[in-house]
Amino acid sequence: MRLEDKTVVITGAASGIGKQTAERCASEGARVIVTDIDDGGQAVADEIENDGGDAEFHTLDVTDSDEFHAVVDAVADDYGVDVMVNNAGTGHPGGSLEDVDDAIRDFVIDVNIKGVWNGCSAALPHMKEQGHGSIVNVGSLASILGLPKQAAYSTTKAAVLNMTRTVAAEAGPYGVRANAVCPGFTETQMLEQYLATQDDPEAAQKAMAEDYPLKRLGKPEEIADSILFLASDESSFVTGHGLVVDGGFSTC
């Protein structure tokens, strides 16, 4: 059991990568704290419990710093916090930088940057005090590449990667690691929403897959496995790293 007796807090865990990560961590012995602004996270926690795992759900808006700290403080008081997975994120409709609505830009910044900031800020005091911990932030291929028509998203995901490096440098002396996972296009609800804007979603997905050396898009469980690695002691000498999980897209 790679996470036996450890408590893992996961944001955005009602669906997609977050849901798969919750289930994967539970299968490796973790107590999983499922959080999401969507009440569907309760079903994820219930499913884990029904399968013999240990999970509980907390409603959480990651953009609310006070709420985030309250949830993490309560978890820490009850169990401690061994792993913080800042997975919650959002995208935006494609458009040139000058055409992106200010309200949309600000919302993406609030969720993707401030949400991760809040998660790190809430978890770090507890991890430093206990002398260990692993923070895993979910970035994107956009953390390392400027994606056209995705200025706000690319900006925020690049910030997540450099924030991760800063946290690693600051918290390392306290025994706390921080890493990021940077997925390529993955078969999640966010991808479905993008494809729905295309004239032929099926053809659009096939065309996207052709840009990848593996000739397919990623699956949420594959990203979850990468998060599990960085969360576990198997990566005990890895910190400040952005693990690119993109089927080879960035090599082309």
How many helices (DSSP H) and strands (DSSP E) are in the chain?
A: 9, 7
**Confidence (pLDDT) at 193:** 74
Euclidean distance between CA atoms 47 and 50, whole angstroms: 5
Q: Is 153 a catalytic residue?
A: yes
Q: Which CATH superfamily is domain 7-183+219-243 in?
A: NAD(P)-binding Rossmann-like Domain (3.40.50.720)
For 180-201, the pLDDT digits (tens) are 999 988 888 777 777 777 788 8
β-bridge pairing 83-86 and 54-59? unpaired
**How confident is the model at residue 188, as a pLDDT?**
81
- Average pLDDT rounded to a whole number, residues 242-249: 95
Catalytic residue among 79, 153, 194, 212: 153
Answer left, alpha or beta for residue 55, where phi above 0 means left and psi between -120 and 50 means alpha.
beta
**The model's pTM:** 0.95
Question: Of 193, 132, 134, 187, whose CA–CA distance to 164 is shortest?
Answer: 134
CATH 3.40.50.720-classified regions of the chain: 7-183+219-243
Average pLDDT over residues 110-126: 98
Q: What is the mean pLDDT of residues 165-181?
A: 98
| Candidate from 63-77, 184-198, 204-218 with smallest mean pLDDT | 184-198
